A and B are shown apart, each in its own frame.
Chain A
Amino acid sequence: MKHCGIAYVAYGNNACREAKASIASLRRHCHLPVAVIGDEPLDVKGIIPIAFDVPGPDTGTRWAKLNLDIIAPVEWRDILYLDADTQIEADVSGGFALLAGGWDMAIGLSANQGGEVFHHIGTKERQETIEELADPFPLQLQAGVMFFNRDRCAKLFAAWREEWLRFKDQDQAALIRALQKCPVRVWLLGYPWNGAEGSIVKHLFGRAR
């Protein structure tokens, strides 16, 4: 676990409040280093603040997340990204073990599949994504909790940024398009790892605000 770390992105008061609560829950189960990327240092003891200029509070948050492979502390090899509105309920070290075992990324499924896939994405992006994937209901991943190896996923992140810049909206559809361009070894996690009732990571999806 020497080269492992956990990263949050928090811009603005709401996100900072959520991140503080999430880090407090994380600390009950895990003592790995934590970095928070944001516009001002978070008032939490022991975290690594990372300043990163972004174009705006909403889209900017995603842009910071998509640059994690570049801006995370240089000594980190394996990274867990957590959305600020998550609550950690159990030990998350199993995800890092997957990366150490050779998987490039470990990520959960979105609860929105089938007819609900990409429902929160703009119409144009949704249509173009479905068109490019040639599948009307592609598998949607939930990138609010993801473990990744920064070196082995560097090309994927570059492709993710490129895809995100096409529409500058949410990041899930851009991730799926990027994966088609730069496939990596993805280990799928179940809902306990990232779900509204997750027993390892409970994702509040904004409910903390």
Chain B
Amino acid sequence: MAGVWIRAITLVRVPDETGTMKTYQPGDWLQVGKHDARMLQAGGQAEIMPPLLRKAVLDLDGCGIVAWGPTDAVKATIMQNLPGLPVSKLTYAIPYARTLFWDPGVNIHFGLLPVGFSRLATGWEIAIPVGDYNILAESIGTDDARKHTREVVHDLRVPVYDTRLVFAQKCEAAQQVLTQWREECKSGDDERLCWLRAWYKVKPITCALPLTWTRK
């Protein structure tokens, strides 16, 4: 959809291309027609972003999505929300310069996805949301999984990450952590503990994202 990129300040409801009303959360980025953009801005519901920031955040060249789930369903969702982004089926090899590995079972703010991609353009190798601020690694998984994880990371009084939404730059460290994570998951342990072990071993430069990315 050609139009003006704006960012929601309050809840914004606008129709999509099929006429279905869609709700956007504060902070979400969306594209609307010029008239709607001006009306929303005048009403204090959204802001038209300055060109420099817009360019930094909305440069989606080289970005793409790997679906951890039915590819067709993800493609349809992406077509609605971020048209033009390529979608690949499940792989652990990072296919795009900036890739989002997404399990469609997790709620995400589509309006924030461009921001996630933009993090990878500023030096971060991975961007991933924290799972829950109050749930620590010491309180999840089996005794054996925790023991195994403690042997690697030493202290489990740390938050875990939501591995259903992983932004990865196409680089050695990001690739290594995904490969290592896959290897760790063969143990059958909780995937979040597996991530913690893989992440500790590889140590990619990681931007931790807040819970708001996965909870509406």
Contact = CB atoms under 8 A, between A and B. Distances in A.
B158 A189 contact: yes
Given A192-B157, A193-B157, A114 B122 contact: no
12 contacts: A101-B200, A114-B210, A114-B211, A134-B57, A134-B115, A135-B112, A185-B203, A186-B208, A188-B159, A190-B158, A191-B134, A192-B157
Contacts of B115: 133-135
Contacts of A103: 203
B157 A189 contact: yes
Nearest to A182: B123
A139 interface: yes
B154 interface: yes
A183 B212 contact: no
A184 to B, nearest CB: 7
Contacts of B212: 113-114, 136-137
Contacts of A101: 154, 200
Chain B contact-residue range equals 20 to 34
Interface in A124-149: 131-139
A180 B122 contact: yes
B100 interface: no
A139 B206 contact: no
Contacts of B133: 109, 113, 191
Chain A contact-residue range equals 35 or more
B114 to A, nearest CB: 8
Nearest to B215: A114
Contacts of B159: 109, 188, 190
Interface string B131-143: 0011011000000
B139 to A, nearest CB: 10
Given A190-B136, A192-B157, A134 B211 contact: no
A179 B124 CA distance: 10
Given A94-B155, A102-B203, A139 B209 contact: yes
A187 B130 CA distance: 12
B105 to A, nearest CB: 22
A30 interface: no
A200 interface: yes
B205 interface: yes
- Closest CB pairs A-B (n = 7): A136-B27, A139-B210, A192-B157, A183-B123, A137-B212, A94-B155, A190-B136
Contact of B154 (A97, A113, A188, A190): A97
Contacts of A114: 210-212
Nearest to B47: A131
Interface string B170-195: 00000000000000000000000000
B112 A139 contact: no
Contacts of B200: 101, 187
B149 interface: no
Contacts of B207: 179, 183
B53 interface: yes
Nearest to A184: B205
Contact of A187 (B119, B124, B158): B158
Contacts of B208: 139, 186, 188
A109 B130 contact: yes
Contacts of B137: 190
A114 B209 CA distance: 11
